[in-house]
């Protein structure tokens, strides 16, 4: 029987959907239920990873250590996982995580910047963790570039590498191309992390699995940035239909979704206009607020700004460009 | 440039999501907006098609004629379409529809029962309508059976034939197999109608298109039975990314979703436990209420009943079996 390893990120990517306001008690309740349902790996922390709680990325309800303490104390079978974006999280954050029995560290960089994750991969290995390279916004780079960057992570000692569709901007053949190319080029397992902005979180996850992905990410009820992620309970049902072993009990994970996570949601996770536009334009979610402001100021359609930002392959940190693009659009003939 | 014809069924399948309570004014407002956005074909009526308003299938807010009058008076470019399930709708219903400039009639039967649609296809042709055979619950029949039934519809004079995933129970390769087999066997266009119970409405629609489907169904915001359909606005965005012409203006259809349909929704369209179970078990939505009642009475898990019903390939009208299955499950050792 074929197998797939499920990473559940309800308690990390899902934090975006609740403005990082899960309490440590919420996290513990969800983590306990995920653990009992048989989820292999549970990721937790601020939506932007360790150290993310800040004015810039939004303050979480509690500190990383409070969350780590609460979750690590209830997990019995699952591997505890954190995400760290170099530049947001630091070595000191990783050190803290190591004290709470964190077994897996995912080091997340822009798809063309694996090199800034080198020291963090090595640090995680030094702490005895499984270290995973996580290439974000993978739609922005052609397969050969994704391969090059995946091989960099492998060369740093990463135990696995992810193709990450951060903006939910890929269609199945694009996912297949990238995952298959990486799979053929590295010796380590390959993962895929979907977003649902184009309604393709499950479809792309299946495409990734067919192309050879060993690890697939989900979040219960699809909670996550933008239009959210692949719902874990739906992934488990679909893999069950395909006779692929996830190790997760389908009825239990359905019940986690309905009874444990749903009551803690702030809003339903749907594909609204903003999320769809982000996926279609292939732009990072953090641009949205600035874009709406600029659109109003310069009297242009915010979607036109996002499309132009997508064409220019703008990445996080380049928010200044939004004003420039909005101004240029306002000057161009209709 | 490749093309696809979009059928929007917000005003028919979407009626399930509002318990058939759109008013004629709601329908007119949505139809006008869909028409202005460039949607090719607009389907309308009770969720179960013409004549569906009844004690058994739920009473609609207004009569078929009230809806037909309201919608036909606002449509300028789009083709008006109705669905008719023989046994629910009658010849008289079709006659009424013809008076309101209905251009397309979709005759819907269970995937193994195209023969009961013969006279209705011929009737629709007699009224000068485009007549389409709509094979429901297509996951229940192997590709060769679907082909046989599609050819029957073609032999009755149907202008097109649909593969319909009524329970949202198929995965992409199952869709491809069926659509490709039908496409290879008939001379007429082939359509695909998705449901999102397994999160695959968009993924399966793409798979169908790749396998040769000419027509794809959507509903704005995914409104529809079970977990709903493929959201039309998402289909348009995805086809745009793939350089496939839909004729629909993406910004306008996004605005229809956000400004015209969302305010008229009764609840968000999500994949809840019931919908997911239906898709996973491959069972018709109308079984749900009876199943929950039987589960309570016999103290068994309703999901076990649905799975057993799926295995037995139960179809609408066989609700009596639910009690039998529940009883048998209650007697079997755990």
Whole-number Å distance between alpha carbons of B26 and B9: 14
Does some domain include residue A191?
yes
Two structure tokens written together for B161: 């034939």
Query: What is the residue range of B243's domain?
Result: 5-263
Does some domain include residue A323?
yes
Kindly state whether residues B182 and B279 are assigned to the same domain: no
Dump pLDDT digits (tens) for B242-267: 999 999 999 999 999 999 999 999 99
Kindly state whether residues A233 and A281 are assigned to the same domain: no
pTM for this model (two decimals): 0.96
Chain B residues with CB-CB distance to A204 below 8 A: 203
Cβ burial A117-129 (10 Å sphere, 16+ → b, else e): bbebbebbbeeeb
ipTM of the complex, rounded to two decimals = 0.95
Kindly state whether residues B289 and B207 are assigned to the same domain: no
* Interface probe with A: pick from B194, B196, B202, most Cβ of A within 10 Å: B202
pLDDT at B7: 98
Check pLDDT > 80 for residue B333. Answer: no
Q: Which of B238, B263, B288 is the last residue of a domain?
A: B263
Kindly state whether residues A311 and A170 are assigned to the same domain: no
Closest CA to A127 of A160, A82, A194: A82
Among A233, A269, A280, whose Cβ lies nearest the Cβ of B276? A233
Whole-number Å distance between alpha carbons of A148 and B316: 54
Does some domain include residue A268?
no
Kindly state whether residues A249 and A280 are assigned to the same domain: no
Kindly state whether residues B79 and B60 are assigned to the same domain: yes
Tell me the pLDDT band of B176, cut-offs 50, 70 and 90: very high
Q: Which of B243, B263, B283 is the last residue of a domain?
A: B263
Whole-number Å distance between alpha carbons of A116 and A109: 7
pLDDT at B244: 98
Kindly state whether residues A52 and A188 are assigned to the same domain: yes
Q: B276–A234: do the CB atoms touch at under 8 Å? A: yes
Q: Which residues of A are catalytic?
A: 16
pLDDT at B332: 84
Closest approach of A184 to chain B, Cα-based (Å): 23
Report residues of chain A scoring pLDDT below 70. Answer: 334
For residues B134-159, average pLDDT: 98
Whole-number Å distance between alpha carbons of B78 and B31: 9
pLDDT at A334: 58
CATH classification of the domain holding B120? 3.20.20.70
Kindly state whether residues B235 and B300 are assigned to the same domain: no
CATH classification of the domain holding A293? 1.10.8.60
User: Binding site residues of A for substrate, as ranges?
Assistant: 12-13, 166, 193, 284
pLDDT at B334: 58
Question: Least CA distance to A210: which residue of chain B?
Answer: B173
Q: Which residue has the tokens 């990120």?
A: A9
Whole-number Å distance between alpha carbons of B71 and B24: 7
Does some domain include residue B72?
yes
Among B201, B255, B270, whose Cβ lies nearest the Cβ of A199? B201
Q: A270–B269: do the CB atoms touch at under 8 Å? A: yes
For residues B42-67, average pLDDT: 95
Q: B199–A279: do the CB atoms touch at under 8 Å? A: no
Closest approach of A206 to chain B, Cα-based (Å): 9
Kindly state whether residues A288 and A153 are assigned to the same domain: no
Q: Which of B263, B287, B308 is the last residue of a domain?
A: B263
Q: B255–A273: do the CB atoms touch at under 8 Å? A: yes
pLDDT at A1: 86
Per-residue DSSP letters for A233-288? HHHHHHHHHTTEE-S--HHHHHHIIIIIIGGG-SS-----HHHHHHHHHT--GGGH
Tell me which of A142-156, B111-125, B302-316 is least confident.
B302-316
Two structure tokens written together for B120: 């209705």
Is B131:B107 a contact under the CB 8 Å cutoff? yes
Closest approach of A241 to chain B, Cα-based (Å): 7
Is B23:B62 a contact under the CB 8 Å cutoff? yes
Question: Least CA distance to B238: which residue of chain A?
Answer: A198
Q: Percentage of chain B with pLDDT > 70?
A: 99
Dump pLDDT digits (tens) for A16-44: 999 999 999 999 999 999 999 999 999 99
Does some domain include residue B291?
yes
Q: B258–A273: do the CB atoms touch at under 8 Å? A: yes
Q: A277–B258: do the CB atoms touch at under 8 Å? A: no
Check pLDDT > 80 for residue B286. Answer: no
Kindly state whether residues A170 and A81 are assigned to the same domain: yes
Does some domain include residue A100?
yes
Domains of chain B: total: 2
Kindly state whether residues B172 and B282 are assigned to the same domain: no
Dump pLDDT digits (tens) for B57-82: 899 999 999 999 999 999 999 999 99
Q: Rounded mean pLDDT of chain B?
A: 95
pLDDT at A30: 98
Kindly state whether residues A200 and A225 are assigned to the same domain: yes
Tell me the pLDDT band of B284, cut-offs 50, 70 and 90: confident
Does some domain include residue B268?
no
Closest approach of A301 to chain B, Cα-based (Å): 10
């Amino acid at each position: 029987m074929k197998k797939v390893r499920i990473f559940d990120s309800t308690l990390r990517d899902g934090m975006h959907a609740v403005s990082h306001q899960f309490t440590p008690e919420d996290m513990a309740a969800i983590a306990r239920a995920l653990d009992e349902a048989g989820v292999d790996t549970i990721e937790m922390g601020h939506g932007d990873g360790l150290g993310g709680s800040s004015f810039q990325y939004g303050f979480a309800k509690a500190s990383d250590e409070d969350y780590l303490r609460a979750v690590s104390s209830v997990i019995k079978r699952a591997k505890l996982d954190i995400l760290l974006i170099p530049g947001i999280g630091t070595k000191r954050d990783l050190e803290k995580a190591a004290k709470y029995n964190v077994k897996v560290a995912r080091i997340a960089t822009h798809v063309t910047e694996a090199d800034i994750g080198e020291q963090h991969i090595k640090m995680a290995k030094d702490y005895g963790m499984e270290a995973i390279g996580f290439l974000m916004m993978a739609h922005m780079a052609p397969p050969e570039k994704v391969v090059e960057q995946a091989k960099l992570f492998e060369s740093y000692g990463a135990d696995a590498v992810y193709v990450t569709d951060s903006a939910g901007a890929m269609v199945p053949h694009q996912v297949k191309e990238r995952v298959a190319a990486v799979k053929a080029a590295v010796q380590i397992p390959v993962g895929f992390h979907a977003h649902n902005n184009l309604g393709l979180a499950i479809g792309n996850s299946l495409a990734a699995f067919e192309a050879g992905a060993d690890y697939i990410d989900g979040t219960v009820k699809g909670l996550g940035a933008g239009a959210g992620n692949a719902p874990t309970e739906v992934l488990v049902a679909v893999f069950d239909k395909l006779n692929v072993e996830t190790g997760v009990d389908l009825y239990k994970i359905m019940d986690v979704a309905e009874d444990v996570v749903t009551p803690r949601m702030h809003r339903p996770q749907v594909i609204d206009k903003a999320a769809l536009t982000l996926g279609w334009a292939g732009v990072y979610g953090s641009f949205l607020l600035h874009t709406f402001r600029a659109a109003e100021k310069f009297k242009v359609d915010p979607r036109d700004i996002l499309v132009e930002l997508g064409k220019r392959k703008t990445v996080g940190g380049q928010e200044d460009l939004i004003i420039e693009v909005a101004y240029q659009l306002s000057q161009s003939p209709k």
